[in-house]
Amino acid sequence: MYQRVDGTHYQHIWLTGDLHGCHALLMARLKALKFNPGEDLLISVGDLIDRGPDSLKCLELLDKRWFLAIRGNHEQMAIDALDNQQLALWAINGGEWFERCSESQKAETKSRLSACRYLPLVMEVDTLKGIHVIAHADYPDNHYDWQKTLDWHRVLWDRQRLSNHLAGQHAEIDGADHFWFGHTPLKHRYDAGNQHYIDTGAVFGGELTLVQLQ
């Protein structure tokens, strides 16, 4: 459930908010940032798929040596839908693209989504400027520990901490320098203490937020 990344192996490390199939937009942003796939690393905060135009292309990023991702609730929803052969809930939440795929594309999608079972739910990135912890929706504890057992459903889905922040009820998480989340589309990146929310609704016409961690 956890993955640790040693930042000393990379020149620069970037973190992207929820992609939701916006592959072309991501490539344009990386080009503008002069991203170097030979020396740099890009990490996704989850939700590679659904709603946008190129979900399968975003899944194919997992083959790239310069790309890492944690699991988002949309990957989990797709895995569950295919496991149970009940696609309706996934479809109404952006997964209708799967039914439009050719048979060969469906087979490839199923294989890639099966591999998403092994994506971590929490990633710790040790950089020259501190320790960054990445989870899709929340780190549901006020103290971070490597390999701590958590409520994994809340890691993927919970919005309570963000709701508390927006209501002026702030609580720090200790044990790391920064905590990064996606999941909830916002008009602008939101920062509260050492917690940062970077899903800025790219698939809905907003900005695709990329943050340089190193």
pLDDT band with cut points at 50, 70 and 90 for residue 137 = very high
Residue 144 has pLDDT above 90, yes or no: yes
In a domain, 55, yes or no: yes
Residue 119 has pLDDT above 90, yes or no: yes
In this prediction, residue 49 carries a pLDDT of 98
Domain count, the chain: 1
Contact status, residue 57 vs residue 48, Cβ threshold 8 Å? no
In a domain, 29, yes or no: yes
In a domain, 141, yes or no: yes
Mean pLDDT within 149-177: 97
pLDDT in tens, 39-78: 999 999 999 999 999 999 999 999 999 999 999 999 999 9
**What is the pairing mode between strands 190-192 and 195-197?**
antiparallel
In this prediction, residue 59 carries a pLDDT of 98
In this prediction, residue 149 carries a pLDDT of 96
The helix-helix angle for 73-84 and 103-115 (nearest 10°) equals: 120
Residue 8 has pLDDT above 90, yes or no: yes
The two tokens of residue 29 are: 């942003």
The contacts of residue 85 (CB under 8 Å, 6+ apart) are: none
In a domain, 169, yes or no: yes
In this prediction, residue 36 carries a pLDDT of 98
pLDDT band with cut points at 50, 70 and 90 for residue 108 = very high
Residue with tokens 């020149």: 11
Largest CA distance in the chain: 50
In a domain, 60, yes or no: yes
In a domain, 79, yes or no: no
Residue 8 sits in a domain whose CATH number is 3.60.21.10
Contact status, residue 147 vs residue 33, Cβ threshold 8 Å? no
Structural domain including 194 reads 1-70+119-214
In a domain, 156, yes or no: yes
Mean pLDDT within 110-120: 96
Q: Which residues are tagged catalytic?
A: 74
Mean pLDDT within 151-163: 97
Task: Name which of 64, 11, 29, 10 is nearest 198 in CA terms.
Answer: 29
In whole angstroms, give the CA distance from residue 17 to residue 43. Answer: 9
In a domain, 134, yes or no: yes
In this prediction, residue 129 carries a pLDDT of 86
